[in-house]
Amino acid sequence: MDKKTKVFLILLICTYAVFAQQRVSLDWKMHNVGKVRQFVCNLGTLWPTGYLLGDFTGLIYCEFPPNSHEEHIGEGGIWVGAIVGEDTLVSVTTSWHSSVEFFPSENLWDTVWVVGRGEVVDIPYWPGYTGLSDQDFVCRFGDYHILNVGSHQPLYIDVIQTSHAWSSYPLDEFIVYQYYVTPTKDSLDLKDVYIAYWLDGNVGYRGQGWDFALDDYSIYLKDEHMGVAMDESGHTDGDAYSPIGIKIFPPDGYDADELKWSFNWILNPTTGPPSRDPDRYLEMSSGKIMSDQKEAVGSQFFISFGPFDLRCGDTLHFKVGEVLGNGYDGMIKNLKRLKWLVGNDFHVPSPPPPPPLKVTPMDKKVVLNWKPLEGEVNPETYTDPYRSDSVDTPFEGYRVYKSTVSINGPWTLLAEYDIAGDGFGNEYGIEYEYVDVGLLNNFDYYYTVVAFSKPDTVSGFPSQESSLTANAVRVVPGTEPPESVGKVAVVPNPYRGDIAYHQYNPPWEKPAGSRERWMEQDRRIQFINLPRDCTIKIYTLSGDLVYTINHKSETVGYEDWNLTSSVGQAISSGIYLFTVQDNSTNEIQVGKFVVIK
């Protein structure tokens, strides 16, 4: 067992022990409107920790580009250190050799709030919060909600974290975080406060285990106050598409030059970052800028800045950019776009809202309709106060996309409809329906319809498109269930183990969740032409019951089976019998199928 696995198991045991003693409102969300798929939770960490691992069904915490299975983060989050009387204290959201020390409260509303651009939401601790980006997440956590964390002495601070993602070029390859740090205890003045951002960068193709992260290294762009986790070319994970950079913007009211900055990539990857508060604070306040890491043995670093004096009720507000891109040069291009965005106070042209998509699956075809009805959001009437060309209605058209892989794409453009005669686009005219024909029944297909805007001809800002995932849907074409049994069949029959069904397009068999690689439990046969309410029983030739499936649906006339028995064992090659009993009429159909592995 390697060192990192041991640390993880220790933290997992500690966190579950703490959580068992005191309840808090845990929640997580995934940024997915742009090209960065980033995990965010109300513990202040950028990974699920021991608390949320059971609820988080994915494998990757920061995927970029979409569907690449390229990871960039093992851990990430802020530290806050201060001198309190005679003590030197540091509270951490996450760190090796340390329990999580920030938690939300037990209030049910202390969750992760999701807010769209321009949407106004009354969050209990932030009434009238207005959405800034195409996908805002808002959460709050404090270092004093659970006090029986081992050796933790709180600073009694609340942190409100907002994170922001944009759906369209040129703002879709980074995430922006904003932090509002507020002391809450009257008798506790925090002196010489330092903030650190800790990143365990794990860059590369995410297969099994974490070996892909062992060829990373850390560099620092001093003038930008930006740490970068880089993947060394070659090795077991090949060449990564993107590094990950953490850019720190100075707090409101401070110039970067008046602060003391530190950059420390971990000197000893075996022992990791300091675990004791005095040692942590010493490193955070040292003002030491380490030279770039030369040996690619893993990237773990923190950037810290300060000092500040904070009293109860004071709020320190700062921003952090998580920047990715096509290689190092692409990351730097996105850094420039990020700085422009922040310098413009996030005032940029916006895409229209997504249209209200309705789908109708039919026999070997799918009908898509997105005409807004009365009372529904209409993309064609949206306004945008941050355009330079002062266009009253910047809506331009709709695009229809399809995927045969997943609800997250990759997407193929099927059609584009835009306003005719306005001097933009293809001048095709607006339509509200698309019929996709020639499909395979009982296969998964994915569709989305987006709205897009005119480009801003004054500022040169490109056309903006609503999020591909905002109204993406899974659709399964097929026939309606028959009135009774009689035509039930098994497909494929025979089932052949030497055929790579998962490589079909669309795939007949797919890995579950966010797994990329096909596994034995992903095998699939399908019982088709099922009546609305029936029971399927599968037997060996000798009459032993292998599995039972209860089917009840008014619209779906099929059921899948993964060739696994009721006790979880994969079945062997052979001839199998099945019965299907219509529970409404008690009629029974008998059939057989063959499995060849």
Here the tokens at position 3 are: 């060192």
In terms of domains, do 328 and 261 share one?
A: yes
Q: 232 and 121: one domain?
A: yes
CB 165 within 8 A of CB 36: yes
Q: What are the residues facing 129 on neighbouring strands?
A: 121
My answer on whether 264 and 183 are in the same domain is yes
CATH value at residue 235: 2.70.98
The Cα angle at residue 99 between residues 97 and 101, in degrees rounded to 5: 130
pLDDT above 80 (res 20): no
CA distance 3 to 563: 38
Residue 514 is predicted with a pLDDT of 64
Residue 351 lies in a domain: no
Domain end residue (candidates: 475, 510, 538): 475
Largest Cα span, the chain: 83
pLDDT-derived band at 303 (thresholds 50, 70, 90) equals very high
Check residue 268 and give its pLDDT.
Answer: 62
The confidence score (pLDDT) of residue 17 equals 41
Average pLDDT over residues 392-402: 96
Q: What is the mean pLDDT of residues 534-557?
A: 96
Report the C-alpha gap between 391 and 5 in whole angstroms: 56
pLDDT at 21: 40
The domain total for the chain is 3
At 142, list the tokens: 């404090």
pLDDT at 287: 97
Per-residue burial over 212-244, b if 16 or more Cβ lie within 10 Å, else e, is bbbbbbbbbeeebbbbbbbbbeeeebeebbbbb
> Cβ of 335: how many Cβ atoms within 10 Å?
20
Residue 439, domain extent:
358-475
Tell whether 386 and 338 lie within a shared domain: no
Q: How far is CA 70 from CA 66, 242, 570, in A?
A: 9, 9, 31
Tokens for 521, please give them. 């439990």
d(C-alpha 471, C-alpha 571), whole Å: 39
| Pair (405, 324) in one structural domain | no
Percent of the chain with pLDDT over 90: 83
Q: Is residue 350 part of a domain?
A: no
| Number of neighbouring beta carbons within 10 Å of residue 473 | 15
Q: Is the pLDDT of residue 12 over 80?
A: no
Q: How many CA atoms lie within 13 A of 171 on its CB side?
A: 29
pLDDT at 99: 85
In a domain, 529, yes or no: yes
Does a structural domain hold residue 348?
A: no
pLDDT tens for residues 276-285? 999 999 999 9
Model pLDDT, residue 10: 42
Cβ neighbours of 54 (radius 10 Å) = 9
* Same domain (yes/no): 243, 370: no
Residue type, 160: I
Domain end among 475, 502, 526? 475
Task: Report the alpha-carbon distance of residue 57 to residue 264 in Å, rounded.
Answer: 33
- Report pLDDT for 434: 98
Domain co-membership, 292 together with 406: no
- What residues are paired with 532 via a beta bridge? none
Residues 413-438: tens digit of each pLDDT: 999 999 999 999 899 999 999 999 99
- My answer on whether 81 and 110 are in the same domain is yes
The CATH number given to whatever domain includes residue 430 is 2.60.40.10
Tens digits of residue pLDDT in 45-59: 999 988 887 778 777
Residue 359 has pLDDT above 90, yes or no: yes
Residues 301 and 366 in one domain: no
> Residue 147 has what pLDDT?
76
- Quickly state the pLDDT bin for 511 (edges 50, 70, 90): confident
Contact status, residue 597 vs residue 497, Cβ threshold 8 Å: yes
pLDDT of residue 307: 98
d(CA 580, CA 588): 5
Phi-psi region of 194 (alpha: psi -120 to 50; beta: other; left: phi over 0): beta
Residues 312, 386, single domain; the answer is no
3-class secondary structure per residue, 489-534 = EEECCCEECCCCHHHCCCCCCCCCCCCCCCCHHHCCEEEECCCCEE
Quick check: 434 and 414 in contact, CB under 8 A? Answer: yes
Task: Look at residue 481 and tell me if it is in a domain.
Answer: no
Q: What is the mean pLDDT of the chain?
A: 92
Q: Is the pLDDT of residue 368 over 50?
A: yes
SS3 324: coil
Specify the pLDDT at position 450: 98
Q: What is the pLDDT of residues 130-178, one digit of tens each?
A: 999 999 999 999 999 987 777 889 999 999 999 999 999 999 999 999 9
Verify that 238 and 362 share a domain, yes or no: no
The CATH number given to whatever domain includes residue 568 is 2.60.40.4070
Examine residue 311 and state whether it is found in any structural domain, yes or no. Answer: yes
Confidence of residue 446 (pLDDT cuts 50, 70, 90): very high
pLDDT value at 16 more than 70: no
Instruction: Report if residue 352 sits inside a domain.
Output: no
Residue-level pLDDT at 513: 66
Q: How many residues does the chain have?
A: 597
Q: What is the pLDDT of residue 31?
A: 97
**Domain end residue (candidates: 420, 446, 475):** 475
Residue 264: other Cβ atoms inside 10 A: 23
Q: What's the count of helices (H) and strands (E) in the chain, helices before strands? A: 4, 33
Q: Is residue 334 part of a domain?
A: yes
DSSP 387: -
Q: What is the DSSP string of 81-149?
A: EEEETTEEEEEESS-TTS----B--S-TT-S-EEE-TT-EEEETTEEEEE--SSEEEEEEEETTS---S
Do 195 and 261 share a structural domain? Answer: yes
Write the pLDDT tens digit of every residue in 60-96.
Answer: 999 999 999 999 999 999 999 999 988 999 999 999 8
CB 174 within 8 A of CB 153: no
